[in-house]
């Protein structure tokens, strides 16, 4: 059962690379080419919110005790960010199914939702990992971030001539988390009350 759980978590991270990074990159270039302001705005918001997911990977590398909590919060916020905006939702509904860009965007939004739900369900199966990721039972959550750790370690050594260690990853992760949290609080206090669920993508005119 442990092997099945480990394989399931590994596959979840591999699939997340496709749907959380690969497809959004493709949609970003595609929407710019098509000059679709609604999808461009949706993706720009998504990339800002998704920074928390990358921060959570740094915290997993640094074996921060609550890294798994941050990962789940990040996928939840990413899901909310692609469904939250009334003006974008209304705009996407106006397009026919045959318009491939918006159809792909809609399918991708559902995929993000299921990935977020899947992460949460799998996390509940290892509930103790929410508060203590360093235990032996939680090692299966740390393994998927090893490849990223090796990449960052090589890049850090190439650019700075220094060793990128787990404590450094934890420091950068926590510092980034602080900046991210301050930015999110600022948006919640200033922009959310002013604009509500309006993304303002059409301020410069619709397509």
Residue with tokens 């996928």: 75
- Cβ-based neighbours of 116, under 8 Å, separated by 6 or more: 75, 76, 78, 79
- With a cut of 70, list the residues of the chain below it in pLDDT: 1-5, 204-207
CA distance 178 to 172: 10
Q: What is the pLDDT of residue 143?
A: 76
pTM over 0.85: yes
pLDDT at 202: 78
Is the distance from CB of 177 to CB of 55 less than 8 angstroms? yes
What per-residue confidence (pLDDT) applies to 152? 80
Among 15, 11, 142, CA closest to 68: 142
Write down the domain spans for the chain.
2-195
Length of the chain: 207
Predicted pLDDT of residue 187: 93
Structure tokens at 117: 């739900």
Q: Give the per-residue pLDDT at 4.
A: 67
């Amino acid at each position: 059962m442990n092997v099945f759980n480990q394989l399931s978590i590994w596959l979840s991270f591999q699939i997340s690379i496709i749907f959380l990074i690969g497809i959004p990159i493709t949609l970003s270039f595609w929407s710019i080419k098509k000059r679709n302001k609604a999808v461009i705005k949706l993706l720009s918001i998504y990339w800002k919110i998704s920074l928390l997911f990358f921060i959570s990977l740094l915290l997993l590398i640094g074996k921060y005790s609550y890294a798994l909590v941050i990962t789940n919060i990040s996928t939840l916020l990413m899901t909310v960010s692609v469904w939250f905006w009334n003006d974008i939702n209304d705009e996407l509904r106006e397009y026919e199914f045959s318009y491939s860009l918006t159809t792909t965007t809609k399918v991708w939004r559902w995929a993000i939702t299921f990935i977020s739900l899947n992460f949460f369900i799998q996390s509940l199966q290892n509930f103790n990992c929410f508060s203590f990721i360093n235990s032996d039972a939680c090692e299966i959550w740390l393994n998927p971030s090893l490849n990223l750790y090796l990449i960052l370690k090589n890049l850090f050594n190439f650019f700075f001539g220094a060793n990128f260690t787990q404590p450094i990853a934890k420091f950068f992760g926590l510092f980034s988390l602080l900046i991210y949290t301050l930015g999110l609080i600022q948006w919640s206090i200033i922009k959310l009350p002013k604009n509500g669920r309006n993304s303002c993508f059409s301020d410069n005119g619709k397509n």
